[in-house]
């Protein structure tokens, strides 16, 4: 859900996503902000057996880099003419990340397409 919500920030808060695109990489492993929470979620997923990653910090790097890359794609000339990275790009990225973390392809597909909270889309 967080991947999809962050991706949609590009439409609602373009100035914030510009900051993330150009300066967000150092914040992935910062001791404040979303990084520690994302790391906690990866560790909880690992502890529950839902995720299967050997090193949660490496997984955090992959998740953060993937999201920043998708935000950059959305703003690039590689996007389609409407300025989108393609239909469902947020769901596709969420699914890929979930698979990378250890969910089966079927489960990742289902989870990545669950409805977002009301008012979040």
Backbone φ and ψ for 114, nearest 5 degrees, come out as -65, 150
pLDDT at 81: 56
pLDDT at 21: 87
Q: How far apart are CA 121 and CA 115, in angstroms?
A: 9
pLDDT at 82: 56
pLDDT at 84: 61
Output 93-97 pairs: Cβ under 8 A, ≥24 positions apart.
Answer: 93/3, 93/7, 93/66, 93/67, 94/1, 94/3, 94/4, 96/66, 97/3, 97/62, 97/63, 97/66, 97/67
pLDDT at 76: 75
Give the CA-trace dihedral at 43, 46, 50, 52, to 10 degrees: 130
How is the chain split into domains, by residue range? 2-112
pLDDT at 40: 95
| Per-residue pLDDT tens digits of the chain, which is 121 residues long | 688 888 888 888 888 888 888 888 888 999 998 889 999 999 999 999 999 999 999 999 999 999 999 888 888 756 555 556 677 888 999 999 999 999 999 999 999 999 988 765 5
pLDDT at 110: 96
**CA of 56: how far to CAs of 3, 4, 5, 82, 88, in Å?**
17, 21, 22, 36, 27
Q: How far apart are CA 45 and CA 56, in angstroms?
A: 10
């Amino acid at each position: 859900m967080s991947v999809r919500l962050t991706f949609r920030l590009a439409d609602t808060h373009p100035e914030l996503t510009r900051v993330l695109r150009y300066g967000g990489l150092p914040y992935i492993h910062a001791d404040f902000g979303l990084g520690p929470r994302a790391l906690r979620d990866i560790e909880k997923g690992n502890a529950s057996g839902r995720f299967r990653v050997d090193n949660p910090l490496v997984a955090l790097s992959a998740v953060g880099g993937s999201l920043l890359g998708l935000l950059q794609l959305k703003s690039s000339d590689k996007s389609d003419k409407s300025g989108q990275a393609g239909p469902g790009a947020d769901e596709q990225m969420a699914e890929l990340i979930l698979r990378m973390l250890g969910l089966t392809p079927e489960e990742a597909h289902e989870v990545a397409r669950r409805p977002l909270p009301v008012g979040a889309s």
